[in-house]
Structure 1
């Protein structure tokens, strides 16, 4: 996809270009126990409430999935593009359960971060949901820098 930005991009834009082609992103409906389901749904709502074109929704016609299970890896979550309108997100129960002091916030923060990758956002060191050193127990929403980057990209 060719992206043309008029008027310049934000001075500190952080894009990786490996996300979805459009900001309306669907995923196959997931079903986990309420301990996981509620904070995962909050992650969708947190992006959908921003002043950006980001809109995450569930659709049985989607090939995109979110999988929650224990992985031996050290990461909390991971995003993988499987096409311009397809993504795979994985949440690692082993590391999240081990490190979360506020479980619900930690899950929401992790999934909001992975959705940021789906919106073409790269890791950065600003006050951002994309900062890998953020406090996952308290930062659960896209920050102004994240929203500005999404608005500039799409």
Structure 2
């Protein structure tokens, strides 16, 4: 298109309207938000009580406490009537943890004991970090590359709590 044609269109106001539409449509969600929309419908999430030896139980309970201690609506709690489960088992897959939605109020979280035992230098922190990350998916958070529990390259031996970016994303979503 020639510059003369562009000037004619601009005089008619088309470019101004197009620019306004672009501004309105691109500012609807915060640019920093990392949501995947595959999590639970509400941030108060119950799960069937899990029972493992203290090597696993203690860091798993800490993962619940770490989300519950944030300034977000996240509330993870155990309820014997829940269909949501956390399973620790040796899987042949390469992942450490896996979140799966089974409904708006139901989730399955799996922790891979094979890969966690193989790669953890601080076992307790590694388990807590992995489960806090999977709970992030339950809260509709997607992977990202920032300073975040949702960063797949984070140091699982030291990062065990949701970071400020994670909390802000949960607050913005719910």
TM over 0.5: yes
Alignment length (residue pairs): 148
RMSD: 0.9
* Alignment partner, residue 149 of structure 1: 169
The residue matched to 1:67 in structure 2 has which SS? strand
TM-score, normalised with respect to structure 2: 0.84
Q: Give deviations 1:30-88, integer Å, cap 9, x for gaps.
A: 00000000000000000000000000000001000000010000000000000000000
C-alpha distance in 1 between matches for 2:97 and 2:171:
24
* Alignment partner, residue 132 of structure 2: 112
**Aligned partner of 1:30 among 38, 47, 50:** 50
The residue matched to 1:79 in structure 2 has which SS? strand
Structure 1: any 5+ residue segments left out of the alignment?
1-6
TM-score, normalised with respect to structure 1: 0.95
Structure 2: any 5+ residue segments left out of the alignment?
1-26
**Aligned partner of 2:75 among 55, 66, 84:** 55
The residue matched to 1:122 in structure 2 has which SS? coil
C-alpha distance in 2 between matches for 1:10 and 1:129:
19
1:10 matched to 2:30: yes
Do the aligned residues in 2 keep the contact of 1:10 with 1:148 (CA within 8 Å)? no
**Aligned partner of 1:135 among 155, 162, 171:** 155
